[in-house]
Structure 1
Amino acid sequence: MAVPGTAAPGHARLLAFALVLAVLRGAVCESNHTRFAMVSRGGNAPSWRPGSGAGKGSARVPAPSPPLDTCGCGPAPAPAPSEFLNDKLRPLYPVIQAFKTTITCDPLGVTASWVGPKLCDSFFGGNMYRGFYCEHPPGLANDNSTLTVASIDFNGYGLCAPSIAGFVDAFPDLALFHANSNNLSGEVPDLTRLPYFYELDLSNNNFSGPFPNTVVPLGGLLFLDLRFNRFVGTVPAPIFDLSVVALFLNNNGFYGRIPDNFGSTTAEYLVVANNQFTGPIPRSIYNTSANLSEVLFLNNQLSGCLPYEIGLVEGLTVFDAGGNEITGPIPLSLGCLGSVEELNLAGNQLYGHIPDVLCMLAKTGKLQNLSLSDNYFHSVGHHCLELVRRRVLDVRLNCILNFPNQRPALECARFYADPPQHCPFVPHIPCDLPGFRPPAAATLSAAADGGGGN
């Protein structure tokens, strides 16, 4: 299905909410608008907040304004059936108007354009029905008789509404619904009856409760973004069986173990950061080698040993597991990540020797940023020293003798006297590394003793 992009010409311009002359009363209705600044937080979803600048975790959406129709101006009369472009659009008009009556704040005045019969005005270069985009369903003639609403993009509109049920699910030919940075809430509707649907973005809203199980049966879903909401509870294992390209679950209240079938995901981009997940990174991650490019586990409560299987995910470009409780030595298998550009393991309980096989990726691979700070490493290899000098490698707050900005010696001694967990050191490297010569057996034995924390 040829679906328009999320941005159309003029799509980002602010639409002035015109003063409307009330035909019957001769009165003037005036909308009450508040301006908000869109703030980007790194690679996370942008958030709406007042110009006063609330801190992290504060309300990310505007407080609801009074209902749009507060001065006695009734809704415009419904268009005659003959005024609609075709029979597919006529039943969508009351759906949009019903949703419009539930909206309690509209800081950009977009709903002022939701009047009249021209639901597909943007298709012809017009400005009516902002946020609604039309296309021809697949297999049907490309003429005006088949034109229908194929995507809805409310990104950045700041709309307040108590529910999207009965709205999103009422567009039979819908393929995309994007609603980043609004104040939407309620239940996520059942979208399984929409045969073309493949993108759902509910990020940076006010959805809450358990993981929305209505998205689990969406077998054709390619993009799912639930970040920056207030969902809580465990994540159902079938979510990792979806054929998605991108899966964003970060900045919610999800907890429990990451399901063991994590490795079944087809995602290229997978983010579960800033939740409360516990337990180890699933060893099944090696099954994602054919597709996974970027994965972010940071700022959870993950523990256990750093899996050897991470080194088998050949296409990784970004791996971030900082800010957890992961322990053990760095597996030599990570030296096989020839495509990795950013690797963050800071803020864990990793220990032992920082292996040269990892640091050599800055020469033989694409590594540009390696952060191992705030751990308990006691030594570094020759190539790692070079990366420290070049500021590619950050090793602050470790236990490396004669290095600046390290932990107190007593703290390091206490840690090595009783490390949190014994993790095996596996000397095998599952790939051929240019310029790397395996160490002698005696050296490996010593490394194994040090890697176990004994």
Structure 2
Amino acid sequence: MKTMASPSFIISLALLILLLHLSSSFSAASHHHRQHHHRPPPPNPKLQQAYVALQAFKKVIYSDPRNFTTNWIGREVCKYNGIYCSPSPHDNKTKVVAGIDLNGVDIAGYLPDELGLLSDLALIHLNSNRFCGILPQTLSNLSLLFELDLSNNRFVGPFPTVVLSLPSLKYLDLRYNEFEGSLPPQLFAKNLDAIFINNNWFSNVVPPSFVTSTASVVVFANNKLRGCLPPSISNFANTLEELLLINTSISGCLPPEVGYLYKLKVLDVSHNNLVGPIPYSIAGLAHLEQLNLAHNMMSGVVPMGVCVLPNLVNFTFSYNFFCEEEGICGNLSSNGIAFDDRRNCLPEKPKQRSEKECEAALEHPVDCFHYHCGGVPSGGSNAIPPAMVPAAATPLLSPSMAPGNA
């Protein structure tokens, strides 16, 4: 006779089976969770490339007296000194290397081709180091690069045309290097805001024609460009605020088109071979704060319209051949303007040129309308005898020219 299991027994057995099943499921899930928790995240290909590029960079650094790059080890490149990461502009879940800032750490080395792997870079700041050599063409891969500061290093070679291929570049600083040769006209056709190329060995001539430019600051100073400032400088009118041509060997007359640069705050053409009068059009530059014409061969009258400019705070026209100061120009200090009018031909003013020098200049007036760039007017005689040319002096640095300033 079969014995039937009681209902309570069947229920107890079912509960036991259910508990065993739940326990097994929980254990499996817990094990799966632990495995998932400890599994390393998938590698970020952008940071992998950055690791390759920065290790290549470290290998070509042969002097690092401050040990700035000693922590450039391991694959966590975002923790390297001077390396800055941010979300990719194309995918905010992906971290990329967006900046290299090695300003002022006295590193010596050169730039390897592998820097082109850092295609997400927005800025490169290498100011005040001892980097040398030429710029690699692979920098053309840096389509997002906004700022490139290579100032105060030892880079050489012709103008680095690779920078012309950077579509996002706004700030270019090549000051205080050893670049040489001519300047490509395409430089001024780029959508740049600041162009610093002073204190190099650029030669040839100022580009004979400028296309419409977006630059607010252009510093050519302390190069040997020669030539005249072309009338097409007016193509900078809508944006240009600072123009520095100090010690660039430019000659000829200042074109009246300079007066079209209605946003200009700083104009410095000192230590050149300019001749002729001050264009009266400069009297229209209502925002002008600093005007430096010193150490040239300019002549004629200092016009009152320039001296009463509403924002003018510093007007330097020493070491020229000006013979008259119109109106308030003879007493600029009464208008709160700092000035320097030494070594001109101004009657009754102290520290002027000798009568002999001034007479020679007056005997050879300059007619800018007929003046040919290169130093000879249509009449065939020199504008000012070579003996009257002022001796070259070491030009002072404008704040815009000094390395490390922008």
Q: Quick one: which of 86, 99, 105 aligns to 1:135? A: 86
Aligned to 1:91: 49
For 1:273 and 1:82, locate their aligned partners in 2 and report how far apart those are by CA, in whole Å. 55
SS, match of residue 346 in structure 2: coil
Aligned to 1:183: 130
Q: What TM-score results when the alignment is normalised by the length of structure 2?
A: 0.78
SS, match of residue 172 in structure 2: strand
Asked if residue 303 in structure 1 is aligned to residue 254 in structure 2, the reply is no
For 1:384 and 1:399, locate their aligned partners in 2 and report how far apart those are by CA, in whole Å. 14
Write out aligned runs for 1:48-447 (5 A). 82=40, 86-121=44-79, 129-141=80-92, 143=93, 146-161=94-109, 163-190=110-137, 191-361=139-309, 365-388=310-333, 392-419=338-365, 421-424=366-369
Would the aligned equivalents of 1:83 and 1:117 in 2 still touch at CA under 8 Å? no
Would the aligned equivalents of 1:154 and 1:178 in 2 still touch at CA under 8 Å? yes
Can you list the C-alpha shifts for 1:330-367, whole angstroms capped at 9, x where unaligned? 11110001000001011111100101011011xxx100
Moved over 3 A (4+): 81-85, 388-391
Q: How many residues align?
A: 332
Q: Which amino acid aligns with 2:324?
A: S
Shift of 1:394: 1.4
SS, match of residue 311 in structure 1: helix
Shift of 1:388: 4.8
For 1:152 and 1:212, locate their aligned partners in 2 and report how far apart those are by CA, in whole Å. 19
> Structure 1's 287 and 318: CA in aligned 2 closer, same or farther, altered over 3 A?
same
Q: What TM-score results when the alignment is normalised by the length of structure 1?
A: 0.70
For 1:169 and 1:199, locate their aligned partners in 2 and report how far apart those are by CA, in whole Å. 15
Shift of 1:90: 1.9
Query: Percent of counterpart pairs with the same letter?
Result: 39
Can you list the C-alpha shifts for 1:245-264, whole angstroms capped at 9, x where unaligned? 00000000111211133353
Would the aligned equivalents of 1:84 and 1:117 in 2 still touch at CA under 8 Å? no
For 1:88 and 1:170, locate their aligned partners in 2 and report how far apart those are by CA, in whole Å. 9
SS, match of residue 298 in structure 2: strand
User: Any stretches of 5+ residues in structure 2 without a counterpart?
Assistant: 1-38, 371-382, 385-406
SS, match of residue 91 in structure 1: helix
Would the aligned equivalents of 2:53 and 2:115 in 1 still touch at CA under 8 Å? no
SS, match of residue 323 in structure 2: strand
For 1:240 and 1:391, locate their aligned partners in 2 and report how far apart those are by CA, in whole Å. 33
Shift of 1:288: 1.2
Superposed CA RMSD = 2.0
For 1:95 and 1:140, locate their aligned partners in 2 and report how far apart those are by CA, in whole Å. 21
Shift of 1:115: 1.5
SS, match of residue 216 in structure 1: helix
Can you list the C-alpha shifts for 1:70-100, whole angstroms capped at 9, x where unaligned? xxxxxxxxxxx95887332123213212221
Larger radius of gyration: 2
Aligned to 2:18: none
For 1:186 and 1:167, locate their aligned partners in 2 and report how far apart those are by CA, in whole Å. 15
Shift of 1:158: 1.0
Higher helix content, 1 or 2: 2
Would the aligned equivalents of 2:296 and 2:320 in 1 still touch at CA under 8 Å? yes
For 2:83 and 2:143, locate their aligned partners in 1 and report how far apart those are by CA, in whole Å. 18
For 1:83 and 1:155, locate their aligned partners in 2 and report how far apart those are by CA, in whole Å. 34
SS, match of residue 332 in structure 2: helix
Would the aligned equivalents of 1:84 and 1:118 in 2 still touch at CA under 8 Å? no
Can you list the C-alpha shifts for 1:200-241, whole angstroms capped at 9, x where unaligned? 111111111111121122232101111100111110111111
Would the aligned equivalents of 2:312 and 2:337 in 1 still touch at CA under 8 Å? no
